[in-house]
Amino acid sequence: MTTTAPNPLTSRLEGPSPAIEVARDLVRRGVYLAPVAIGLGAALGGTAGAASVAYGLAIVCVNFLLAAVSLGWAARVSLALMAAVALFGFLVRLGLITVAVLAVRDAGWVSLVPLGVTIIVSHLGLLFWEMRFVSASLAFPGLRPPRPHRPVDVTQ
């Protein structure tokens, strides 16, 4: 009896994409972060700082969603395509971020320093924040399930 290893060119994943679940959670955390970040941008850079921070957060959230949707689509086609989309999709999304910044660089409402700092810090900050909630287990791909609530025994 011989078994052959699955072919990554024809193997594919079925079911919901864990990447989309994680990206939605990242965007939710970005929405929580937005009022504080925009307020800080307004305090340090006025209206242009606040608008730049809001635009930067929108770029970051759209980037995470695009990554998840593209990986989810590719995984349903084949694992090899998913690997290619992970590698080259990153480069494409970096290009889209560059285009999004270059499109507004001369606009009166934008300030490039808060915009750049927001894009860099929020990408890294949201990813590090999300690491606490992502499961590294094949039993629970995507987000870690919530811990069950244990009532406290006060009789002891």
Residue with tokens 């590090």: 128
Rg (CA), the chain: 20
What is the chain's mean pLDDT, rounded? Answer: 84
- Give the model's pLDDT for residue 134: 75
**Structure confidence at residue 91 as a pLDDT band (50, 70, 90):** very high
- Report pLDDT digits (tens) over 53-67: 999 999 999 999 999
Q: Is the pLDDT of residue 92 over 60?
A: yes
Helices (H), the chain: 18-77, 79-104, 112-131
Q: Report the alpha-carbon distance of residue 81 to residue 85 in Å, rounded.
A: 6
**Structure confidence at residue 76 as a pLDDT band (50, 70, 90):** confident
More confident: 75 or 41? 41
More confident: 149 or 101? 101
More confident: 86 or 16? 86
Q: Is the pTM of this model over 0.85?
A: no
- Give the model's pLDDT for residue 65: 93
